[in-house]
Each structure stands twice: as C-alpha cells, then as structure tokens.
Chain A
Amino acid sequence: MNQIKDRQEAIIEEFSMLDSNMEMALNYIIELGEELPVFPEEERVDENIVKGCQSKVWLTASFTDGHILYKADSNTAITRGLVSLLVRVLNQSSPQDVINAEIYFPKHIEMDRFIGTQRSNGFASMTKQMKMYAVAFLAKQGA
C-alpha cells in the first residue's frame, strides 16, 4: 500500500518542478507515455477498450505471484501519458492494495487544469477499470 502512496508522492514531486506550466506538463506527460512498453497488437481489440474515455484507451491486466501487471495504450499521445501514470502507480501491487488505493495525485498536480473536465472523467474511468481487474483477480484468488 505504501508503494502506491510513494509512487503518487513521486509523481506529485515531479510535477511540482514543472512550475504549473501547462505546456511543460503536457510535454512531460507525453514523454512518460512514450516510455510505456509496446502494447501487443493482438490485444488492441474492442473488448479491451476502456468505456467512458473520449479517446481510445486499451487496458489489459495479468496476475502473477499475487501481483497485477497492467498493460495500456491509447491512440492519443496525452492520454497514453495519463494512463502511463496510473500504470506506474498501480503496477505490481496486490489486488487488495489496488482496491484500497486512493488515487489522489491527479488532484495534487491539478490535472483537470491541463487536461480539461472531460478527459478527467476519462481518467476516472481508467482508474475504475483497473480496480475492476483487481476485484476480479481477488475473487479468483479466493476461489
């Protein structure tokens, strides 16, 4: 759980260095998106699309040794960067930790200021989808 908190704190610190400059923040988000591992072409299918996003976001998750591994991609550079932040925060965590996680870094970095309300709603959909995977893995684990 602390791991999720620590990662969020790290993001908040990184963004604080951008001095609330919107263009710099967008550039940084795009750079982060470019670092996402290549998303497998065969998984770029409709059932992996996150509903509620303006642009297309593909999200998958696998479960190994008690930890979740998320993979994600988007057809827009900014959204790819945004989803990469969530992957960074929640990856390699236990399902229970993901379910319990409070995602507070968007508010601290004033994300809605530079991505707008609609995209912020999309971000909430991505978070929800990641938690849904965790719920499913937890159920499977308990079964």
Chain B
Amino acid sequence: MEVTTHDIDIQSLRKRFPVLNQKVNGKPLIYFDNAASSQTVDTVVKSLIEFYEKDHANIHRGIHTLAERSTKKFEETRESVRYFINSSEADEVIFTKGTTESINLVAHSWGSVNLKEKDEIILSQIEHHSNIVPWQLIAQKTGAKIKVIPINDRGELIIEEYEKLLSPKTRLVAFNYISNSLGTINPAKEIVTLANEVEAVTLIDAAQAAPHTKIDVQDLNCDFLAFSGHKMYGPTGVGILYGRREILEAIPPYQGGGEMIKDVSFGGTSYNDIPYKFEAGTPNIGEVIAFKSAVDFINELGHPVIESHENELLRYATNKLSALEGFIPIGTAKNKASVISFLIEGIHAYDLGQFLDAKGIAARTGHHCTQPLMEYLGIDGTVRVSFSVYNTKEEIDIFINALKNIISKLR
C-alpha cells in the first residue's frame, strides 16, 4: 500500500511536541537539527514525570512495591525494544547511555578478547567519530589494523572496494546504516552478508536509522546493532545495544559493579547472565521506562508513514535548494534519508548557520563528528538540515526564503 504524507495530521502531531511552539530570537522556531537530536514526544515527558512522582525506586534489587513496579516497567521497555528490532529474545537487548557507549562496550568487551596483532577491522569513510575512535583505542591495545571502505562522488560506499578489503584477517566490520553527515542509506544487509562470508563479526550503527526505517536484526543477520533513544523522540541517556546471545555470553563484562554479578567474594566474582552482565550500576531507570513511549509513538505512526513524510520533505527541500545559485550539495546518494548537507559558494558554513539561528532556524554547522569524511572531501564542514516527522513544507519555504536573504547579504 502506498503511503502519503496525508496520512499524518501534522498539526495535531506537532501539538505533541510542545517545544516546537516557541519563538527563538523573535521568530517561530523551525527545528531542522533532528539528526543530532529529535524533539521529545509528550507521552515520553509524561512518563518521566510519572516515574519521578509515583514509581521512583531502584530496579532488580528490592522486594518492595515501588521497586517491583519500576523493575516491571523497565523490563517492559526491553521487551518493547525487542519487538521494535525483531530480536529473537529480550535478553539480547542491553541498555546503555547512548550509541557511543554501546559501540565502546563492544570494542572493549568483544575486542579485548577477539583481536590480536594483524587482525583487521573494517570501517567506512562516512563513520561518526563514535564508530571510529573506540576501534582506534582497541586497535592500539591489540595491534589490530583499521581498513576503510571508500566512497564514490555521491557519498555512497563502494561495495566492490569493500569486497577487496575483506579477507580471512577481517575480524570485524562496523558501519553506519545511515550516514549522519550525508544521509546516505547504506546497503546494510549486503554489507553484513559479505562480512559473514569471511566469518567477520558485524556491528551496525543504527543511530540515524532507528527513527526512520524499520530495523530487523534477524533479517539483517548482524551480530551487534546500536542506537539511541534521543534521536527517536525519546529521552537522552538511553542507548541500546543489540547483541547476538552466543557472542554476548562469550565476552567479558564492560564495567564492574552492582547488578552485573551473581556472587562476589574477594576470592573471585561470578557474573550475572545477559543482559545484566553488561548493565553495571543503576541505569537511567526513568529514562529507559519513558523510552517505551517513544517506541510506541513510532510504532503507532508506523515506519512507512514516517519514511514517506520525510522523503517527501527531502524531495521538496532538495528541489528548492538546487534552484539557489551557488548551492553545493554534499552527499547525493541515490538512497538517501532526510538529511541535506550543503554549502553555498563563497559563504562560510558557520556564517550561514549563525544567521539561520538569528532567524529562528536550528540547523547544524561544522564537521558533524565526521572529521575524516570532511578531510576526504577537502572541506571544513557543512550546513546540515535534517527533517523529522513533525516538520512541514511550510517550514522549508521559510527556510529557503531565509537562506535567500542571508545569501544576498553575505555575497
């Protein structure tokens, strides 16, 4: 069934994001920085308040009513996430504080016992620093080497070059599902299938993908997948790591502390089962519980409706921007999410971003935590606008007019 943007009552939906209804620098806020963090839906905020007003207690430890209640709700989110990514069991869902921590967990716990000198880790040219630096750290400790999948002029991974990098030395392939800087949607399943042929472990950074597109870890057949709550209308401080059971069971814990143990003595400690083995200390309980409302929100709208609306905004904005003199798109992948990185000839990205802010438009400027990509492209950074389900064509029109005004001033 074809879905159209008419399937969303956008004005009612926007009312569920009270933050959008404000003026910034005297102008109505237009929030186009969704790839960095999306706004929080009202049910998430309500859930957070409810937790702190009614249910606050530590989880998995007490036998009292509040502890039981918070534990039950915490585990309900785990089940909800399991369903969201279609993992076969909830124990494969680990809560962290964000995608970055999820990737660090894998690099540390998996990497420390599975990497040795001359082993190879394959990353791509368009990775976020959070999917580069953790691997550099473990590579330095173990002597493993990092190889990089190059990109073509459109900002797409060159799969033939990736195939050439794969070898029996490849121990891990880590890549993003959708590029935060360029919006490129990578052929995740194909990348995993090719990695599996050399028996390499795979990790998908799905931080940008989770709010936009349906994720099915069984279909993708990946070993690890990481994403964050705050990019999917949820709270900050909630990250998810999906890991395949047999791998999670075989690798050591990431951090030590409460919750992650079975028995502790000074003679030795035995660790808890997964997922608790990887959840040392008190987690962001209220935020994890509230995150379920964000997952529910996406499920209720449905990824096809969200994708359709965002793709329509992407098409509309790309057409309008392309008509501007001096518009230089950075990243023109055929398969692209609602992220537009660009430059305007003769005007620095920082100046554009600052003036947009003065006009109430929140855009991102800079390297977007992808310095190796910017270096490869030979630029300091870009202006990036990224659209979400609550954005409208009217907002894009205002943005384009603002841009025209700024260009005429700065040229």
Contacts and interface: CB of A to CB of B under 8 A. Distances in A.
Do A and B pair up? The answer is: yes
Interface of A: 21-23, 26-27, 30, 54-55, 75-79, 114-116, 119
A114 B357 CA distance: 9
Contacts of B89: none
A111 to B, nearest CB: 12
B410 A116 contact: no
Contacts of A119: 350
**Ranked 10 nearest A-B pairs via Cβ:** A76-B348, A23-B358, A22-B358, A22-B25, A77-B351, A76-B350, A76-B351, A78-B351, A55-B350, A26-B358
Main secondary structure of the interface of A (DSSP, over half): helix
B85 to A, nearest CB: 35
B348 A77 contact: yes
Contacts of A55: 348, 350, 380
Contacts of B410: 30, 77
Contacts of A116: 354
A115 B350 CA distance: 10
B245 to A, nearest CB: 43
Interface of B: 25-26, 347-348, 350-351, 354-355, 357-359, 366, 380, 409-410
B309 to A, nearest CB: 31
5 contacts: A22-B25, A26-B358, A54-B350, A55-B348, A75-B348
Contact of B354 (A21, A26, A75): A26
Given A54-B366, A55-B350, 5 more contacts: A22-B25, A22-B26, A23-B355, A77-B348, A114-B354
Given A21-B26, A54-B366, A77-B410, A26 B350 contact: no
B350 A27 contact: no
Contacts of B347: 77
Nearest to B348: A76
Nearest to B24: A22
A76 B409 CA distance: 13
A73 to B, nearest CB: 13
A63 to B, nearest CB: 31
A140 B101 CA distance: 52
A27 B351 CA distance: 11
A75 B26 CA distance: 28
A21 B26 CA distance: 8
B351 A23 contact: no
A76 B343 CA distance: 13
A115 B348 contact: no
A30 B410 CA distance: 9
A75 B343 CA distance: 14
B365 to A, nearest CB: 9
B358 A114 contact: yes
Contacts of A27: 409
Contacts of A114: 354, 358
B25 A78 contact: no
B354 A115 contact: yes
A79 B358 contact: no
B25 A79 contact: no
B25 A23 contact: yes
Contacts of A26: 354-355, 358
